[in-house]
Amino acid sequence: MYETLRTDVLVIGGGAAGVRAAIAVAEKGLSVMCLSKAPISRSGITPVAGEGIEAAVAPGDSPRHHYEDTVKAGRGLADEVLVNAMAQEATPRIEDLLSYGTRFKKNPDGTLAQSPRPGQKHARNLFLMGGGWGLMASLFRKAGSLPGLVIREDTQVLRLVTSGSRVAGAVVLDVRTGAVFGVEAKATILASGGYEELWPVTDCPPECTGEAMLMAARLGGELIDLEMVLYYPTVIVFPLAARGWMVQYEYIINPDILGGRLINVHGEQFVKGFPARDELIMAINREIAEGRGTAHGGVYADLTNSPYGREELTRRMEAWLNQFRNLRQVGIDLRDQMVEMAPAAHYCLGGIGIDEYGRTGMEGLWAAGEVTGNVHGANRLSGNALTETQVFGYRAAADAVAWAAGQDWPGGDFQAGVAEEIKNIARWTSAREGLRPIQLKRRLQEIMGKWVAFDRNETFLKNALAALDELEPELAKLRVDGHRRYCQEVREAHEVLHMIPLARAVIAAGLERKESRGHHMRADYPGLLPEARHTVIKLAGGISVSSRPVRKLAHSGGCV
């Protein structure tokens, strides 16, 4: 008999959405287990997120404005019902955070301070002290104070288990010990984040590989708008010591904050004003494509000519730019040198489709946070990613708790699931020859970087599929290191096994969307289609690709 644990609710993911959901479950008195791939508050995307979280708390601002700005930024693809829920409940969730001890920048009168971002009618980004890490650390402290909330770090979900049509829990690898065990749960909440690691240049940490999302889709979930990968415009590509670090252009080019500029290799300023992310990416892309990019394929961020004197600039950099200090640690001083920056995969707009209660359409499975696919649409406002984690983490948990309270244990064949996974691992560890998972990941990333970046066309996307046809059979040759303790390669084998089919789904969605909208730019279809539709990928019983209309709020009055 293999060990099978029981918990009322299983949360997959230890970032801001997952831990928020776990807190909400525990506060209702149900048992909850939260799985995290690595130590909480030291892993996932939340700790590396910028400090902005949107909520309309300022005088003169309102949920209605928040809603309207978000829908507009989504370029027609944001699910209006979800956006409405997010705009309405952002402020109560900020109040929750304040009660957990999360610290925000304040005005001299003690009210919460805001900073402006492109696309906002009112300055709406609250400023988290300590950035995403500050948020995560306070959520973790709150979680640690709640009885009935169990956290398992360094774990990897190997499969979801079903009982009939109901999701009944998961088979889990404890990476620290190499043990494989089952977790039976009345309700499961997926909060496993994005899949940025499919690409070679990303500012997200390497564990963002998307396998749990793919598992859910294989059981019947819908993958919505997977082609919509938000590139952040300004991620360092050179010097190499800081490759993959995002630096907020919103501060760099804001004349009221740092007064810097973005210039091409000829020293020309190629953008004016305060462009949104997708607009800036298009502008940078044009500079690079037309031969005005830098040696390492980017543009320069230049703060060396800031109108603020050195002393004042230093003060402002320390106050606003969370990378200033870290860059100096690796020998890069933005006051003295220009750095080369280019767009990099930053946030997955697409993912599992949900309704306003976080339901996935599968009995027993909810989802929240970046893993979901229809909240923001084709472009996301700065600060809404963290708002999403709090609103939908809470909503999914509340709905899952209400449902789970009346349910029996689901059952499900955990013994067979664990046995099969142990057999897979034994096959990989006993192989004498073959390919290491990291080698296959790098080959996948090369394909995605070359053919499925922000400059897409049908030929490129089909080239990627052909390259994946060659790569996929190599998965049969996986071999991994045989240590049971901290079995990193076993987990990476499991990840890449899912990353390649996930890449196919992303490409299928990219081929389906024959237009350029938000962060999906097709050189062969540069225009917008009159009606915005979601791409829908289903994987249960073979891949199927379709599209459907975007949900609008029922009455034309908009936000309620």
Partner 1 sequence: MQARLKVFRFDPDRDGTSRHQVYQIPWSEGLSVLEALRYIYEHLDGSLAFRNYHCGRGLCASCLMSINGQNKRSCHFLVSHEEEVTVEPASGYPIIRDLVVDFGIPRPEGSVRDGVTVHRGAVAE
**Cα distances (Å, whole numbers) of residue 383 to 58, 274, 390:** 15, 16, 12
Q: Are strands 32-35 and 149-152 parallel, antiparallel or unpaired?
A: parallel
Longest dimension (CA), the chain: 70
Among 41, 374, 389, 390, binds partner 1 (CB under 8 A): 41
Q: Shortest gap between Cβ of 179 and partner 1 (angstroms)?
A: 12
Tokens of 440: 């296959």
Contact segment (CB under 8 A) with partner 1 among 62-70, 161-169, 325-333, 334-342 equals 325-333
Q: Would you say 235 or 348 has its CB closer to partner 1?
A: 235
Q: Shortest gap between Cβ of 141 and partner 1 (angstroms)?
A: 7
Q: Are 412 and 184 in contact (CB under 8 A)?
A: yes
Tokens of 251: 């501060």
Contact segment (CB under 8 A) with partner 1 among 9-17, 38-46, 289-297, 462-470 equals 38-46
**Site membership for partner 1, residue 428 (CB under 8 A):** no
Give strand pairing partners of 152. Answer: 35
Q: Which DSSP string do the residues of 188-245 spell out, in sequence order? A: EEE-----GGGSSSBSS-TT---HHHHHHHHTTPEEE-TT-EEEEEEEEEESGGGTT-
Q: Would you say 326 or 430 has its CB closer to partner 1?
A: 326
**Site membership for partner 1, residue 48 (CB under 8 A):** yes
Q: Is 434 left (phi over 0), alpha (psi -120 to 50) or beta?
A: left
List Cβ neighbours of 225 (8 Å cut-off, separation of 6 or more).
Answer: 77, 349, 350, 373, 374, 377, 378, 509, 534, 535
Q: Would you say 283 or 438 has its CB closer to partner 1?
A: 438
Restricting to residues 109-168, name those near partner 1 by CB under 8 A.
Answer: 127, 129-134, 137, 140-141, 144, 154
Helices 80-100 and 131-144: crossing angle, nearest 10°?
70
Residue whose C-alpha is closest to residue 221's, from 231, 233, 211, 213:
213
Among 268, 297, 312, 330, binds partner 1 (CB under 8 A): 330
Q: Would you say 117 or 533 has its CB closer to partner 1?
A: 117
In this structure, what are the phi and psi dihedrals at residue 5, rounded to the nearest 5 degrees? -90, 160
Q: Shortest gap between Cβ of 220 and partner 1 (angstroms)?
A: 29
Q: Shortest gap between Cβ of 117 and partner 1 (angstroms)?
A: 15
Among 199, 232, 245, 392, binds partner 1 (CB under 8 A): 245
The C-alpha atoms of residue 338 and residue 351 are separated, in whole angstroms, by 36
In this structure, what are the phi and psi dihedrals at residue 421, rounded to the nearest 5 degrees? -65, -40
Q: Are strands 32-35 and 114-115 parallel, antiparallel or unpaired?
A: unpaired
Contact code string over 473-512 relative to partner 1, x by CB under 8 A: -------xx-xxxx-xx--x--------------------
Helix, coil or strand: residue 303: coil
Q: How many residues bind partner 1 (CB under 8 A)?
A: 59
In this structure, what are the phi and psi dihedrals at residue 399, rounded to the nearest 5 degrees? -70, -40
Contact segment (CB under 8 A) with partner 1 among 76-84, 241-249, 467-475, 545-553 equals 241-249
The C-alpha atoms of residue 388 and residue 89 are separated, in whole angstroms, by 10
Q: Shortest gap between Cβ of 320 and partner 1 (angstroms)?
A: 5
Q: Shortest gap between Cβ of 445 and partner 1 (angstroms)?
A: 12
In this structure, what are the phi and psi dihedrals at residue 347, rounded to the nearest 5 degrees? -160, 135
Give, as one character, the DSSP assignment of residue 478: B
**Site membership for partner 1, residue 548 (CB under 8 A):** no
Q: Shortest gap between Cβ of 516 and partner 1 (angstroms)?
A: 32
Q: Would you say 103 or 218 has its CB closer to partner 1?
A: 103
Q: Would you say 81 or 129 has its CB closer to partner 1?
A: 129
Q: Would you say 41 or 114 has its CB closer to partner 1?
A: 41
The C-alpha atoms of residue 352 and residue 374 are separated, in whole angstroms, by 8
Q: Shortest gap between Cβ of 411 and partner 1 (angstroms)?
A: 33
**Site membership for partner 1, residue 6 (CB under 8 A):** no
Tokens of 168: 């009944």
Q: Shortest gap between Cβ of 434 and partner 1 (angstroms)?
A: 12
Q: Shortest gap between Cβ of 147 and partner 1 (angstroms)?
A: 15
Among 125, 264, 322, 516, binds partner 1 (CB under 8 A): 322
**Site membership for partner 1, residue 105 (CB under 8 A):** yes
Contact segment (CB under 8 A) with partner 1 among 88-96, 187-195, 292-300, 317-325 equals 317-325
Q: Are 452 and 510 in contact (CB under 8 A)?
A: yes
Q: Shortest gap between Cβ of 46 and partner 1 (angstroms)?
A: 10
Chain-centre distance for alpha carbon 403: 27
Contact segment (CB under 8 A) with partner 1 among 161-169, 319-327, 381-389, 402-410 equals 319-327
Contact segment (CB under 8 A) with partner 1 among 15-23, 97-105, 297-305, 349-357 equals 97-105
Handedness of CA 373, 376, 382, 388 (dihedral sign): negative
Q: Would you say 5 or 319 has its CB closer to partner 1?
A: 319
Restricting to residues 191-230, name those near partner 1 by CB under 8 A.
Answer: 205-207
Q: Which residue has the tokens 């080019």?
A: 253
Q: Would you say 38 or 150 has its CB closer to partner 1?
A: 38
Residues lying near partner 1 in the complex (CB under 8 A): 37-43, 47-48, 51, 101, 103, 105-106, 127, 129-134, 137, 140-141, 144, 154, 176, 205-207, 239-242, 244-245, 318-323, 325-326, 329-331, 436, 438, 442, 480-481, 483-486, 488-489, 492
